[in-house]
Amino acid sequence: MNLTALLKQRAERGRPVRVALIGAGKFGSMFLSQVPTIPGLEVAVIADLDPERARNACRNVGWDAGRIGRTRFVDRGAEACVDEAVEVVVEATGHPGAGIAHALTAIEAGKHVVMVNVEADVLAGALLARKAEARGVVYSMAYGDQPALVAEMVDWARAAGFTVAAAGKGTRYLPAYHAVTPDDVWHHYGLTAEEARQAGMNAQMFNSFLDGTKSAIEMAAIANACSLSVPQDGLLFPPCGVDHLAHVLRPRALGGILEEDGMVEVVSSLERDGRPVFRDLRWGVYVVLKAPNDYAAACLRQYGLPTDDTGRYAAMYKPFHLIGLELSISVLNAALRHEPTGMTRDWRGDAVAVTKRALKAGETLDGEGGYTVYGKLVPAAHSLAVGALPIGLAHGVELTRDIEAGEVVTMDDVLLDENALAVRIRREMERSIGAPA
């Protein structure tokens, strides 16, 4: 409630909050577009593999020549992480290995980290958060992205005395989407390949949104941040509009779909036959809360909150998320309050690689949204027990055996470079933190 007042005080003392942005893609560009209208917030360094692309991104979002000239552009994220002028590092590359490397470098340098890179967070966020805490800096989810928004709603519900029955987001989902590849992804978005190319849209990235991978990753992040449970055999993606959240997302014993109270789930904006769901939540987030007693349940009805037929379950939702346009909330919370906007606290959910088609020994996996595997949400304890390959490590690794379509790939099924930083950090998290039973 007082971020602008705190920021004004910093600006008046000549101490603006200075940020390093790593990755000038869509998320980063949306953040950059807001910076000129937030007095006291400055982007000191922008790191991108193509610095000229980053400069063009600044021009495209309306930065003037003076602001661009005052900004340092580099091609190495590590260089941005150690810049003495920087207080907060925003990691927005989307590459899990790079995200882990940048987070570790920034933490060691005493910088707060805002992790837009959910892929990296799900791969090893529990360990990164502990390392940040030990160093006395903030490790935070990115406000504007769904996990941080859901974490905020969950915290609100619990702080108000409610039990959280379910939390998650909406998306466009059909079971057939798990097998979609970058070659045919644009058909499902109603675009031609040329239209997507002209808009600068990356086929593999957008396919990860469609094939269920991004949903698995984001729900794992929410489970890990909010101490919520994960469905035993993956997300169900029930078709559900906002009016029926409290009816659908409650325990099976009461007629819902949940194994128990306190779970993550994603609702689909499409019926299974492809028809649109009425009042869908495709772009939004939700929390289903449970009243602790009859009096509170009656109050929910009296004050207009729709409930299920028991009167105990009700839903709150936000019909949109604005990703990078809201990212400054995380940056300012870290710098001014030394608080995260959601943070991985334990390891409850994992996003593991599942084959899209039958694969042969010698084939190479191509990660999120690619041609070979998609990400499936499973309990971390199960992932650890079977040695499942996290989707974040399914990049450029070669299979050692034939695998049928729809199988979980294990770490023993691929040639992993055990010396790679991401692999070493993941192994360290497995040893030092483990997963709850």
In which element (H, E) is residue 386 found?
A: helix 380-386
Which domain does 8 fall in, by range? Answer: 3-144+325-337
- Is residue 163 domain-shared with residue 259, that is, in the same domain? yes
Give the pLDDT score at 201. 79
The pTM (predicted TM-score) of the whole model is: 0.96
Distance CA(393)–CA(350), nearest Å, equals 12
- Is residue 308 domain-shared with residue 230, that is, in the same domain? yes
The per-residue DSSP string of 193-217 comes to HHHHHHTT--HHHHHHHHSSHHHHH
From first to last of the 437 residues of the chain, give the pLDDT tens digit: 799 999 999 999 999 999 999 999 999 999 999 999 999 999 999 999 999 999 999 999 999 999 999 999 999 999 999 999 999 999 999 999 999 999 999 999 999 999 999 999 999 999 999 999 999 999 999 999 999 999 999 999 999 999 999 999 999 999 999 999 999 999 899 889 888 887 777 899 999 999 999 999 999 999 999 999 999 999 999 999 999 999 999 999 999 999 999 999 999 999 999 999 999 999 999 999 999 999 999 999 999 998 999 999 999 999 999 999 999 999 999 999 999 999 999 999 999 999 999 999 999 999 999 999 999 999 999 999 999 999 999 999 999 999 999 999 999 999 999 999 999 999 999 999 877 76
CATH number at residue 8: 3.40.50.720
Angle between helices 96-108 and 421-432 (to 10 degrees): 70
CATH number at residue 399: 3.90.1210.10
Distance CA(354)–CA(403), nearest Å, equals 10
Give the distance between the most distant pair of CA atoms in the chain. Answer: 64
- Is residue 163 domain-shared with residue 288, that is, in the same domain? yes
Both tokens assigned to 394: 């399914």
- Is residue 87 domain-shared with residue 161, that is, in the same domain? no
Domain boundary residue, one of 291, 306, 337: 337
Q: Indicate whether 195 belongs to any domain.
A: no
Q: Indicate whether 127 belongs to any domain.
A: yes
Q: What angle do CA 266, 261, 162 make, to 5 degrees?
A: 100
Q: Indicate whether 104 belongs to any domain.
A: yes
Q: Of the candidates 132, 377, 426, which has an alpha carbon nearest to the alpha carbon of residue 263?
A: 377
- Is residue 304 domain-shared with residue 359, that is, in the same domain? no
Q: Of the candidates 245, 387, 332, which has an alpha carbon nearest to the alpha carbon of residue 42?
A: 332
